[in-house]
Structure formats: structure tokens, C-alpha cells
Amino acid sequence: MAAPCRKVNYQFVKRSLRCFEPRVIPCRWSNTLRNQIVEKHRHSPLSSTRELVKQQDDPSDVLVPREFRFVHPDFLPYPIWNRRDRVREKLEREDMLKRRAVLDIPEFYVGSIMAVSIADKNAPGKQNRFVGICIDRAGHGLNHYFVLRNAIDGQGVEIKYDMYNPLLQKIEVLKMEKRLDPQLYYLRDAPLEYSTFRLDMEPVPISKGAHVPLNAIKVKLNPRPWSRRWERSNLKGVEPLDDYITEKMKKQKQHPQIQKTWEMHDLMLKARSSIDDREVDQIMNEVYKRKEKIQKEKLQKRGQEGKREGKKAQEVRR
Amino acid sequence: MNMFRFPVRNTPRKLKKSFGVGSGPAERIKKLQMLVTALIRNERLEAKESYCLETRGYAEQLIQIAIRNGDRHAETMEKADYWLLEKDLVHKLFKVLVPRYQNYTTAFTDYHFLPKKVPGSGVQMGILELKGNPWPPVVPRQRNQKYLLTNVLISTAKEEYRMEKKISPDLKNGTHDKLNQLDNT
């Protein structure tokens, strides 16, 4: 007896076959692998970031000067660890060193007076030169920038320069100095005399091994209104602000939510928002080595060129 | 090189209501101080998951800076004084825990999940402990006991007994029908 012929349920077949159809699965980071995953599947001890790598690249074998990390804060990576990409950081460092081999980027700090010339096709001579005091310096890797401030025609002018901008032609330090604060944005609310510098200022020489002088000047701010609540940020380079603020503001300043005393000893806050000391040592060690190597190569090249020129001169004489 | 030796969240847990309704970040730190102190004192802690994992970070950081800087470092001493509410634990930190964890390449603490109580509040509880503590282990160490001498002897005895039983039943009864049949054929 033949089996009774059943009606084929096409919808059922379709539904069951749907799993074999090619589908486009939208994935946010489809072209990248998360750092944690890569780290997890690394089997070779050489490619993983464990002790073996440390032993190879021991920071004790090269003596890096202690000030090196303060002179080159731009080499430090972004501190939030799960947004970091170590390969990109390394490539960026390499790029930065290559740029430094071409452009002389001197040592400077917040509070130093600098002159920067930048290519500008609309300016006469196709070059623009600006002199000012460095009021801020920030950014990680190739994104490092600094801000110069000067008063021009009775008007405060600030320019932010990306340090690794290829349009930069020259960076000079006219007066090497440090100030008491890490940022000098309060100069915006101070009289213009504090941020006025002559555009034809001559560089003040400083001997090579000397300490960087600290300018302990106390700026007297204008009366309120200010661009920020300066009374709340404990500024060191400013004269006491008690005359300018009301009793209520003084009381508010003492409020625990503004003082935030609990953040002082917060170990995890510090660990999350800064880079480990050992890693800084490692990076600085690597940068120091590469920098020395590049300088050697540069000197060798110069020597070869000098020899060639010498030979040419001899030939001409003959 | 990741400086954390254990999974860390990017943002801290707020630990709401750590000291009742209306407690904020100050109370959070206060609670964590107590938990860190308790952990260093007892070497084992049972609490909510979020409390355990927050405490873990602070305890690990404290031990790490103690290992790196030693007891002659002013800032480290200040931190130890702040985080350990019972002051005899400062001695324990530098004299017991630092030598214990000096050569560790992994985390200094362990975290274990506890089962949720049903019916209950449904809160995930956990156990946080310092590694190398004197307590019996949370997860019992499963050993393969098959090849212990007594077990080997017992198993062989059992086997012998079984073999005997296989051959003997017919002999004991004295009926050799099957054997006789085989012989005849």
C-alpha cells in the first residue's frame, strides 16, 4: 500500500531552510579583534606581554635620565587601558621619532615663552610666526598639542598647535621657564600685561646642564565675572581671591562635594587614570634607545656627505 | 602590558546604600576601608558580589604599592594608614603579605561565586580571599584517588572475588550438566 500523499507545507520548509541562507550579520567591530581576545589566544611567550618580554627588554640595561619622561610627556599613551591599542601606540612613537629627526622640537614646559612658525599660504612670505607663553600642553602620542597665548593690539590671542603637524616649520623656546600651575588658563581673566610679549623678543640663553628656572610670579586676577570658578581650583600662581568672592561662595567652597576629600587616597581612581610607572619606564627606555640610534645615523649621514663634498672639491682642484 | 592582574571594570561601582539611604562616594570609600581591613585581617570575606569585586581592586593595589615601594616610602605608608583602620595590620601588610606575594605573577586574591538563595532576595553573593591563606580551600581540591594503595588493593580483591564467582557457582552445586554435554559431543 502506498503511503497517503501529504500536502507539502511550504512555509514550514522555508522556515526550516532559513538557517542555511546566507545572512548579513551586522557587527560593530567586524573588522577588528578586541585586544583582550588577541591576548587570550597568544600561545607563544615571545608575542605575549608576560615576564619573558620584560626580561628581554630590561629597563636596567640602559640608563635613561630621570628627567626624560618630563621632557617628553607626548610619548606617554592614553591611560584608559581598555581603549588602548599597543601596536598603534608603537607605530605612533615611531612616526613621532621620524618627525623629530626632521624638525627640531626643543624641551619646553607650561610657562615657557615660545615662537612657532607655520606654513600659511595666505600669509605674506607664506609663513606665519607667533610668539606667546605656553599655557597648556596635553594630548597623547601624535595628538599632542600646546597652546600659546599673547596679547596683540590689546586683544588676547590664543593659538593651539598640534605638535606633529607637518605644517610646522620651526619651534623656538625664547625663554625657558616653569610656572607654579600645570595650566595657565587663568591668564584669560588677568590683566593683559601678564600675557603680553614682544613679537621680536630675543631668546634668553640657558646653560645646558642647568635646572629649569621656576617663575614663582603671583598673578593678580581681574574682579569677577570670570570664565571659570577659579576660587574652587586651588591655584598656586594666583594672589588670594578672598576679596573678590562673596561669603556664600566661600561657604560653598568648603562643601564636601566640591572638596572631594575621598578622592585623595582612592587607589583605583589613580590606577585607572594613570599609566603604570613600570610601563612608563619601558616606553621611555625604548624611546631613548631609538632616539640615540636615529641621532647616530644622522651624524653618519652628515659625515658621508661631508666626505663626498670633500672628494668633489679635490676633483675640482685637480 | 596590562597593569591589572584581574578583570577590572572601567567605571567604579557606586555601591549605593552602603551606609543606608543617601550614602554617596564618601560612604562608599568608608565601606571599602572597612572591607579591606576585614580582608587583610581575616584573609577571607563573604559579601555581595559588587562589594567583593570593588574591595578586590583596592586590596590588590595596596599590596602592590607595598611590594614596590617598601615600608620606607612616605606615600605608601600614608595609604596603608588610610586603608587599614586597625593599625596592627600595617605590620602584617609589610611583614607577612609582602614576602608572601613578592614573586607572584598573578593576582593576590581569589574570587568565588556563591549560589543564589531560592527563594530569597536574588542577590549574588561571593567569597573574596587572599591567596595562600591558612583556611581550608573554598573549592575542594579534587584528587584522583584511583591509584592510592588501599584503593588498588581493594579493587584487585574485588576483581578476584568476581572471577571466583564466575567459575565457582556450577562447581559448588555439583551439577556439571553443561560440561558433561560438551564432553559427550
Is pTM, for the whole model, over 0.80? no
Mean per-residue pLDDT, B175-182: 58
**pLDDT at site A298:** 84
Question: Do residues A93 and A141 touch, judged by C-beta distance below 8 A?
Answer: yes
Is ipTM over 0.90?
Answer: no
- Check B1 against A276: CB less than 8 A apart: yes
User: How many CA atoms, within 13 angstroms, populate the side-chain half-sphere of residue A142?
Assistant: 14
Per CB-CB distance under 8 Å, the chain A contacts of B29 are 262, 265-266
Question: Do residues B38 and B46 touch, judged by C-beta distance below 8 A?
Answer: no
CA dist., res. A200 & res. B149, Å (int)? 94
- Check B29 against A266: CB less than 8 A apart: yes
What is the β-pairing status of strands A168-175 and A155-162?
Answer: unpaired
Peptide bond connecting B136 to the previous residue in cis, omega within 30 degrees of 0: no
Tally Cβ neighbours within 10 Å of residue A311.
10
CA dist., res. A113 & res. A201, Å (int)? 10
Per CB-CB distance under 8 Å, the chain B contacts of A59 are none
- The per-residue DSSP string of B44-112 comes to EEEEEHHHHHHHHHHHHHHHHHHHHH-TT-HHHHHHHHHH-SSTHHHHHIIIIIHHHHTT-SS-SEEEE
Q: pLDDT by residue (tens digit) across A39-93?
A: 777 666 555 544 334 444 555 566 788 788 899 999 999 998 888 888 999 999 9
User: What pLDDT band is residue B106 in, cutting at 50, 70 and 90?
Assistant: confident
Residue of B nearest to A86 (CA): B1
End-to-end CA distance of chain A: 116
Per CB-CB distance under 8 Å, the chain A contacts of B2 are 39, 49, 81
User: What pLDDT band is residue B1 in, cutting at 50, 70 and 90?
Assistant: very low
- Check A49 against B105: CB less than 8 A apart: no
Comparing CB atoms, the residue among A51, A54, A268 nearest residue B12 is A268
Question: Do residues B93 and B82 touch, judged by C-beta distance below 8 A?
Answer: no
Tally Cβ neighbours within 10 Å of residue B53.
18
Structure-derived torsion over alpha carbons of residues B38, B39, B41, B47, reported in degrees to the nearest 10: 50
Residue from A267, A269, A275, A276 whose CB has the most chain B CBs within 10 Å, to mutate: A267
Per CB-CB distance under 8 Å, the chain A contacts of B82 are 265
Comparing CB atoms, the residue among A53, A257, A276 nearest residue B3 is A276
- Check A268 against B29: CB less than 8 A apart: no
Residues in chain A: 318
Per-residue CA distances from A232 to A112, A141, A228, A236, A240 (Å): 25, 31, 9, 12, 12
Q: What sign for the dihedral angle of Cα A228, A232, A237, A240?
A: positive
Per CB-CB distance under 8 Å, the chain B contacts of A257 are 24
Comparing CB atoms, the residue among A49, A54, A267 nearest residue B62 is A267
Give the percent of chain A with pLDDT over 70. Answer: 85
Higher pLDDT pick, A89 / A9? A89
CA angle, B38 as apex, B37 and B40 as ends, to 5°? 65
